[in-house]
């Protein structure tokens, strides 16, 4: 791994996943409870597989509470569901109490799903700076510079006063529930998982603060730790 401030560059997705596995194990060793908001998409799958394969018996899953940073407005059985992806790659393979899993109700009307999730976060998480606070947030970054489900064309959602909003995917029109900037930036620790050559250009713009980089929602995340592979890091 090459380290430069809060940028950690890994040879592969596997070594990135191993790093995160060690990190989560350390957190659960030192804390009574760890609340973690997960990202969706394809990148986290390698992390979830590593946790399932190498840490099923060495992490005390009773201490871990899973949430989601965003969720597609589909049933939990739908192949598009971030929750289903997490079940398939992790939750079905570790002994975690079902009451520790706090999913977005993708199957109900989207505004109701956002409001219900906002209430759940307020009930379950400690309030710090007048906002629910996660211990850890995992974020991905789309090729277009979106994060969670705040897309560049509707970047104003980032500063929405609500902690959960309904966003619309620019290409598919798919409705999604997403956390907003306030609660994301209120987390104790934020990890950006970014892999693949397709992300190299946006990473270059955001990390080197090029041009009008703040047009990308991913650029609005405060002080993340970047966990990236060498393909994504090729322009850094």
Instruction: State the residues that interact with ligand 6PG by CB under 6 A.
Output: 39-43, 70, 82, 140-142, 146-149
Residue 186 to residues 69, 148, 235, Cα–Cα distance (Å): 13, 15, 29
Question: DSSP strand E in the chain: where?
Answer: 2-4, 7-10, 34-38, 64-68, 70-72, 127-128, 131-132, 136-140, 164-168, 175-179, 189-194, 225-229
Nearer to ligand 6PG, 61 or 83 (CB): 83
CB 105 within 8 A of CB 154: no
Nearer to ligand 6PG, 64 or 138 (CB): 138
**Among all residues, whose Cβ is closest to ligand 6PG?**
140
Strand, helix or coil for residue 185:
helix
CB of 120 to ligand 6PG, least distance (A): 18
CB of 146 to ligand 6PG, least distance (A): 6
CB of 80 to ligand 6PG, least distance (A): 9
Nearer to ligand 6PG, 35 or 81 (CB): 81
Nearer to ligand 6PG, 126 or 198 (CB): 198
CB 71 within 8 A of CB 82: yes
CB of 29 to ligand 6PG, least distance (A): 27
CB of 195 to ligand 6PG, least distance (A): 7
Distance CA 164, CA 157 (A): 10
């Amino acid at each position: 791994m090459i380290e430069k401030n809060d940028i950690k560059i890994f040879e592969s997705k596997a070594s990135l996943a191993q790093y995160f596995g060690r990190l989560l194990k350390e957190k659960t060793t030192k804390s009574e409870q760890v609340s973690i908001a997960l990202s969706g998409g394809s990148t986290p799958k390698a992390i979830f597989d590593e946790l399932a394969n190498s840490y099923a018996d060495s992490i005390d899953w009773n201490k871990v509470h899973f949430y989601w940073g965003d969720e597609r407005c589909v049933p939990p059985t739908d192949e598009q569901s971030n929750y289903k992806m997490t079940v398939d790659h992790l939750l079905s393979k570790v002994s975690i109490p079902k009451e520790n899993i706090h999913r977005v109700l993708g199957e109900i009307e989207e505004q109701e799903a956002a409001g219900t999730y906002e209430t759940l976060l307020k009930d379950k998480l400690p309030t710090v700076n007048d906002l629910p606070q996660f211990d850890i947030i995992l974020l991905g970054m789309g090729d277009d510079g979106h994060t969670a489900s705040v897309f560049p064309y509707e970047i104003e959602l980032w500063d929405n006063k609500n902690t959960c909003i309904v966003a619309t995917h620019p290409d598919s029109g798919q409705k999604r529930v997403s956390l907003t900037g306030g609660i994301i930036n209120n987390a104790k620790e934020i990890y950006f998982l970014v892999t693949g050559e397709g992300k190299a250009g946006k990473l270059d713009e955001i990390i080197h603060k090029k041009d009008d980089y703040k047009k990308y929602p991913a650029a609005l995340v405060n002080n993340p730790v970047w966990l990236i592979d060498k393909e994504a890091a090729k322009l850094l």
